[in-house]
Amino acid sequence: MTTTSRLITPPQEDEIYPYRRVWFSIALEAGLLLAICVGMFIAFNVIGVQLPIIFRQVINIGLVALPVVLWFLFSLAREQAVSLPRQRMLTVLIVTGLAANAIGLPILQNVFQIDRWLPLADAPTRLVGYAITVGSLQEIIKYLVVRYTTYPTLFRIRLDSVAYTVASALGYSTVLNLQFALTTNTDPGTLGLEIFATTAFHIVASLLVAYGLSELRFASPSPILLPLTVVLAALIHGLAIPLRAGLINAGFSLSGGFTTPLFGLIVAIGLLVGVGSTMAFLFERAERAAREASAESGRST
Amino acid sequence: MTVIEVGREDRGGLTLRQRWSHYLVLIYGVAMLLISINLRDSILYATVPYEDVRAGIRAFYPKGWLLDNEGDYVFRVRDMTRPDFKTTIQVQIIPISVDSTARNLLDNLLLTRAQIFGQYRQYPRAAFQLSDESSATAVNYTFVAGQDDPFLESFPTVVAGQDIVVLQREQAVIVTFQVSAERYDQLYPVFQTFLEDLDF
């Protein structure tokens, strides 16, 4: 009796990705935030749930904290589960929040005084004005926080820039959401949509700046690439605010005026999905180009 | 002797390109700050010219305010966008005798207004200098104003005002500024700009 030996190909070992997957976290957090905010809108504005004011305020504060809570669960906590976690994520979030409250809001309210002239200006002035004032100021503050707390030492891969700029976006938007919740007596349904839109606009703008930062760190682009991404971020952020406000606000008609908050939600979702997908594609393309360049140089040596 | 320069290449771990990118972002930030302030001023303090040849008055009033010259004044402009008291700037010319003084005029104003305005209170008068170095008298006062329309059922508003009285030949020019008291400090620069541009 003879035995024949069979040669078996050894199983291919999967390479363990040592970093947290940023895009998955962003999609998960944004999706859950959207679901909860829309749920609140349906409950309070469609079904018409009535709650005592004290419960409403508690829910409002919970809604303001929701983006950060989701970020803690699906970004920060997951960082601890990977072999190469990112450092100073919480620092970026807190410092941006403090900068927003100490610098951003006072400049907007006391120096620019946008409430006195911008909402009442004509449409072109409103579009340009929001981009120049609100958009630029917010994007510069977020950029400076990321730049001076993490860049370039903590940037090990391209997606690190996304992780840090999204953390700064959440820090800034949380302060704005808190201010909105505390200064307006709004119901949780409307507040939920406002929170989602504010958070989405900040994340979208930060993704653009993240691309500029990562290219500057890992490639050799023109020095104006990063400023251009900041300008573009400010422009998109500045345009999104009056565009959303214009779609939400009730127009005059013979049948009466009704606000249309869902139009504003569609703008926020569209921007988040559109810009998010585009930036994910650009990051992937840049990563692939870098890998191919590296392989090419390896072959040539 | 050999000079060894240490650390020249590694200034914060940044390349020249990265440093310039950062500088350009900072320059952009400063430029936007200046443009924002300029844009704010150009809209917030935008003015429209007004000229009354018969009264010999030329002024620049805030853009968007409602002009009215139907009353016993040369003209009056009001900010109709205010939900409470409409911020008002008014220019009035009163003929006076040669012996009249600013005090006579202000006493007369006090008596008239005390009958029209609720809780009218006048504060000490002070000398005031106009932009063309001519001297005037300023008087501050407060009163309580209610909405004309009783169906609006709104609370009364405390109004703060200032009269600038200039005696010129045989006439007195009274420039009046009235605004909701809580917004007085915020809007007083608008009145100052109006006074600086006022020509009579």
pLDDT, tens digit, for every residue of B46-101? 889 988 888 888 899 998 899 998 888 899 999 988 878 889 999 998 888 877 78
CA distance B104 to chain A (A): 39
Average pLDDT over residues A18-27: 93
Banded model confidence at residue B7, pLDDT cuts 50, 70, 90: very low
Of residues B18, B29, B81, nearest to A140 (C-beta):
B29
Q: Tell me if B37 and A112 make a contact (CB, 8 A cut-off).
A: yes
Average pLDDT over residues B174-190: 91
Of residues B29, B36, B44, nearest to A133 (C-beta):
B36
pLDDT score at A251: 66
Which residue of chain B is at minimal alpha-carbon distance from A138?
B29
Higher per-residue confidence, A72 vs B47? A72
- Strand, coil or helix: what is A223? coil
pLDDT score at B9: 43
Which residue of chain A is at minimal alpha-carbon distance from B29?
A140
Report which secondary-structure segment, H or E, holds A60.
Answer: helix A53-71
* Residue A289, C-beta contacts closer than 8 angstroms, at least 6 positions apart: none
What is the separation of C-alpha B84 from the centre of its chain, rounded to a whole number of angstroms? 18
- Residue A144 near residue A98 (C-beta atoms within 8 A): no
* Residue A25, C-beta contacts closer than 8 angstroms, at least 6 positions apart: A74, A75, A78
Which residue of chain A is at minimal alpha-carbon distance from B43?
A117
% pLDDT > 70, chain A:
94
Backbone phi, psi, residue A221, to 5°: -80, 175
Substitution target from A114, A122, A143 for chain B, most B beta carbons within 10 A? A143
Query: Exposed/middle/buried for B72, CB within 10 Å: 0-12, 13-18, 19+?
Result: exposed
**Mean pLDDT, chain B, as a whole number?**
85
Whole-angstrom Cα distance, residue A282 to residue B21? 20
Higher per-residue confidence, A4 vs B53? B53
Give the predicted TM-score (pTM) of the model: 0.82
Average pLDDT over residues B161-181: 89
Q: Which residue in B154, B141, B144, B65 sits closest to B107, CA to CA?
A: B141
pLDDT score at A31: 96
Q: Is pLDDT of B154 > 90?
A: no
The two tokens of residue A268 are: 């926020």
Average pLDDT over residues B92-118: 85
Average pLDDT over residues B37-47: 88
Residues of B in contact with A117 (CB under 8 A): 40, 43-44
Beta bridge partner(s), residue B140: B162
Q: Is pLDDT of B11 > 70?
A: no
Sign of CA dihedral A261, A263, A268, A273: positive
Angle of helix A158-183 versus helix A136-149 axis, rounded to 10: 130
How many Cβ pairs closer than 8 A exist between chain A and B? 69
Average pLDDT over residues A147-163: 94
Of residues A117, A226, A234, nearest to B40 (C-beta):
A117
Higher per-residue confidence, B46 vs A73? A73
pLDDT score at B96: 84
Sign of CA dihedral A94, A99, A104, A107: positive
* Residue A268, C-beta contacts closer than 8 angstroms, at least 6 positions apart: A196, A197, A200, A201, A240, A244
Banded model confidence at residue A5, pLDDT cuts 50, 70, 90: low
Q: Omega before A152 cis (within 30°)?
A: yes
By the CB < 8 Å criterion, does A110 face chain B? no
Residue with tokens 């929040």: A97
CA distance A296 to chain B (A): 24
Whole-angstrom Cα distance, residue A217 to residue A207? 15
What's the CA angle centered on B45, arms B39 and B46, to 5 degrees? Answer: 85
Strands B157-168 and B171-180, by their bridges, are: antiparallel
What's the CA angle centered on A288, arms A286 and A291, to 5 degrees? Answer: 110
Banded model confidence at residue B6, pLDDT cuts 50, 70, 90: very low
Q: What is the largest CA-CA distance in chain A?
A: 98
By the CB < 8 Å criterion, does A84 face chain B? no
Q: Which amino acid is at A19?
A: Y
What is the separation of C-alpha B103 from the centre of its chain, rounded to a whole number of angstroms? 25
Sketch the domain layout of chain A as residue ranges: 20-250+258-287
Q: Which residue in A161, A144, A143 sits closest to A26, CA to CA?
A: A161
Q: Is pLDDT of A215 > 70?
A: yes
Q: Tell me if B81 and A120 make a contact (CB, 8 A cut-off).
A: yes
CA distance A171 to chain B (A): 20
Q: Which amino acid is at A9?
A: T
pLDDT score at A36: 96
Distances from the Cα of B174 to the Cαs of B54, B117, B189, in angstroms?
17, 18, 18
pLDDT score at A3: 58
Of residues B28, B35, B44, nearest to A230 (C-beta):
B28
Which residue of chain A is at minimal alpha-carbon distance from B20?
A223
**Mean pLDDT, chain A, as a whole number?**
90
Q: Write out pLDDT tens, residues A230-267.
A: 999 999 999 999 999 888 876 666 666 677 888 899 99
Q: Tell me if B35 and A216 make a contact (CB, 8 A cut-off).
A: no
By the CB < 8 Å criterion, does A48 face chain B? no
The torsion defined by the Cα of A208, A262, A192 and A79, in degrees rounded to 10, comes to -30
Average pLDDT over residues B7-22: 74
Range with lowest mean pLDDT among A222-236, B61-75, B107-121, B144-158:
B144-158
By the CB < 8 Å criterion, does A220 face chain B? yes
